[in-house]
Amino acid sequence: MIAGPRLFSILRQGTCLIASIHTALDDSQLVRFQHDLIATIGRDRARGVVIDVAALDVLDSFATCTLRDIGNMARLRGAATVIVGIQPEVAIAMVRLGLSTGVVETALDLEEGLALLDGRTAGSPDGRR
């Protein structure tokens, strides 16, 4: 188990999880975030995940790959993922470096991310598809 302070939070809101990264994470902290989030999806039976990266001024290739992997793992566990809060400078740098979130959707902010997830689960009585 990786020791040290948690530099992220994972909160439940209805059938969704809101995972906020509060500061830049090193590789081992990103792996801890990934493991904690994927475990929480199953424990809370989450149908959607919003990952808020608004506090980050850099997303390197490992962080981008980890976020993409989280989206794929969450999908395999039955939850859709949206990444929100990518800063303009980060978006520019990611495009210039050829980095992308793959099939993981993005939205401007938490409100839009939750609305996007809500639209995905609309129409079923318990939020499931």
Q: Is the pTM of this model over 0.85?
A: yes
Q: Cβ neighbours of residue 8 under 8 Å, at least 6 residues apart?
A: 19, 20, 21, 22, 25, 29, 33, 36
Q: Which residue type is seen at 28?
A: S
Q: Which domains are seen in the chain, by residue range?
A: 8-120 (3.30.750.24)
Please check whether residue 64 is in contact with residue 96, taking contact to mean a CB–CB distance below 8 angstroms. no
- pLDDT tens string 17-57: 999 999 999 999 999 999 999 999 999 999 999 999 999 99
Q: Among the residues of 18-109, which ranges form H helices?
A: 27-44, 61-76, 88-96
- pLDDT tens string 59-105: 999 999 999 999 999 999 999 999 999 999 999 999 999 999 988 99
| Cα separation, 111 vs 100, whole angstroms | 22
| Cα separation, 35 vs 60, whole angstroms | 19
